[in-house]
Each structure stands twice: as structure tokens, then as C-alpha cells.
Amino acid sequence: MIIVFGSMNVDLITPVKDFPHPGETVLCTSDYVSRSGGKGANQAVAAMRAGAKTVMVGKVGDDAFGRRSVNNLKNQGIWTTGIGISDTRPTGCATIAVNAQGENTIVVAPGANLEATSDQVPDEVLVSKNVVLTQLECAPKETFSVLARAEAKGCVTILNASPAGHIPKEALPNIDYLIVNEIEALQLARGVGIEDTDPRAIARKISDAGQHSCIITLAAKGAIAANKNGVFSIGALDVEVVDTTGAGDTFCGIFAAAILAGQSSLIALHRASVGAGLSCMALGAQDSAPAKDDIDAHLSRLQQAQKIG
């Protein structure tokens, strides 16, 4: 099973022609829509649709957004008994602007997500055949605690370091796969004194420093992965982009599902890139996540990962 320790938000999505500049007001090109989101929940949905039994652990507020977030996951077949309810803080909420090119800007009010604690993940599920998937929208201390406990029990551990944040040195050995986008990779690199700007060099150095696999997603250019066997590149599907929101989350969820199913990391990379591409063809971060059969049907459109270094 996949245990996702992470965030649940309600996303308020505003379609715009262009993003507003500071001090500017712009009108939407159509009505706003409100959808379930949050990096953790998005990854849980993507993993479940990709065929993995999935558990969500996190915290929502005692409010309509919280009930909606939990019900949405439950209705899709995700186990939600590990989700707590905050007495004091509201459910996380993200304001997302999507421009005519399908690019987005996101502002997150994390609220109750910051109250999720490591001890909500019971020891019983931290067993070696399980995969633990995390991001950085909950309190970092609790996220790194979950990773440390999971690694100690022999689980496969994945950190999607998004939004970018500091990863303490002592947490590095507890991460088997570190997944970031290009912007997060640059921020991470700067934080540990890596001067390179080429994603290949950054992935190599971060992988060496952490003794783990480092995957950098590159939007329309696919992704780079560095591990002890070398540096690998995977392309991206050529699709008509409607909304890229959550594409990185879909990538992480599908990657985790493939690893859980015993696939190699290169096959997982291939499946994740295909699925992330497919998810850009519809609005919203979760509704667009493809089913396993969709991913299977489109795999042949993308060449498998190639060794480039």
C-alpha cells in the first residue's frame, strides 16, 4: 500500500488571459471553479487511479471544505481513517490562477495541514512492502519524522520537496527518491552550495549528496533522474495543454504506484511522465489524473528513459 502523509486543500481556480502584475486587477475569462486539491491529496488520487491501494494521512479543519476534501478521497476509494480534524485551524485553501497557456500561479493558505503530525501514521502500516509518499505542505518536522520512521522500518520513501524548502542533512538518508521540479531543484541546489544551473548536473550532485535517486521534472521537456547507475532522461507527451496544475503531483503518485507494483525506477519514470502529460489536458489537479488503463494505452507514444550520463 502507499501511505501519503500530506496536504489536503480546496482549490479556487480562476482562469485568466494573463497573470496580474503587482497592483493590477484582472478579470477572469470565465467563472472560477472550486475543486479538491492539495499536493498530498492530488498524489493520493493519482496513485490510486494508477492502481495502488492508497491511504491518506493529514489534517483538515472542522468545516465544509474539510468534509468535502475527506469525502472526495473516500468516494474515490482512498482510505481516510488516518485523517485528523483540527479544532483550531481551517482546511487548507489554494488560490490558483491559470493563464491562456495553461500555466499557473498558486498561493496556498495551509491552515490545518500544518497541524498534521507524524504520530497519525500508525507503526502497523510502516512495513517494508509499503511506499511512503510525502511533500512539503505540512510541517517539515513532522514530514521528516514520518520519513525517518518509514526508512527505519524498511519502507520505500519518497519526498516530493514541493513547495521548495530546506531539507536537513540528517533527513537525507531517509529519502530513497527525491522528486522536485526545475525551480525547486535550483532553490535546493543553492541551499546546499551547488552552483550549477543545468538540471543534469544538479540531479547528479543532489543524488550523490543524499545517496538517493534525484528526479527533476522539467514540464514539457520531461524529466531527468540521477542515481547510482547514472543519469537518465525521459521525454514528455506531446499534448494539448489546458491546465498544468497538479501535473507534478500526478507524476509523483504514478511513480509511487509503479514502485509499489515492483517496477524498476526507469519504468516508473516512463509511466509517470506519460500520466503527467495526460493530466495536463483537463482543468483541475485531481479530476485530470489518468486511470491505469489510460496510462497503459499511451505508453507507446513516449520512448523509454535513456541513459545520458
Residues noted as catalytic? 249
**Residue 184 binding ligand RIB, by CB under 6 A:** no
Binding of ligand RIB at residue 55 (CB under 6 A)? no
Q: Is 38 in the site for ligand RIB (CB under 6 A)?
A: yes
Q: For the segment 6-25, give every residue that binds ligand RIB (CB under 6 A).
A: 7, 9, 11
Q: Which stretch binds ligand RIB (CB under 6 A): 47-55, 59-67, 81-89, 240-248?
A: 240-248
243 binds ligand RIB (CB under 6 A): no
Pick the closest to residue 179 from 131, 120, 133, 146 (CA basis). Answer: 133
Measured CA to CA, the distance from residue 81 to residue 57 in angstroms comes to 8
As a whole number of angstroms, the distance between CA 207 and CA 49 comes to 29
Q: Which three cell numbers stand for residue 103?
A: 500555466
Between 142 and 151, whose beta carbon lies closer to ligand RIB?
142
Q: Which of 115, 176, 184, 249 binds ligand RIB (CB under 6 A)?
A: 249
Beta bridge partners of 54: 2
206: part of which helix (H) or strand (E)? helix 199-210
Q: Tell me the site size for ligand RIB, rule CB under 6 A.
A: 16
How far apart, in Å, do the first and last CA atoms of the chain sit?
33
Closer to ligand RIB at the Cβ: 42 or 273? Answer: 42
Which of helix, strand or coil describes residue 224? strand
Smallest separation (angstroms) from ligand RIB to the CB of 215: 16
DSSP structural state of residue 129? T
Residues 91-150 that bind ligand RIB (CB under 6 A): 94, 106, 108, 137
| CB closer to ligand RIB, 11 vs 115 | 11
H or E segment to which residue 140 belongs: helix 140-152
Please give the residue whose beta carbon sits closest to ligand RIB in the complex.
37
Rounded (10°) angle between helices 199-210 and 182-191:
50
- Specify the stretch interacting with ligand RIB by CB under 6 A; choose among 69-77, 175-183, 196-204, 246-254: 246-254
Q: Of 158, 165, 151, 124, whose CA–CA distance to 249 is shortest?
A: 158
Residues that bind ligand RIB (CB under 6 A): 7, 9, 11, 37-39, 42, 94, 106, 108, 137, 245-246, 248-249, 285
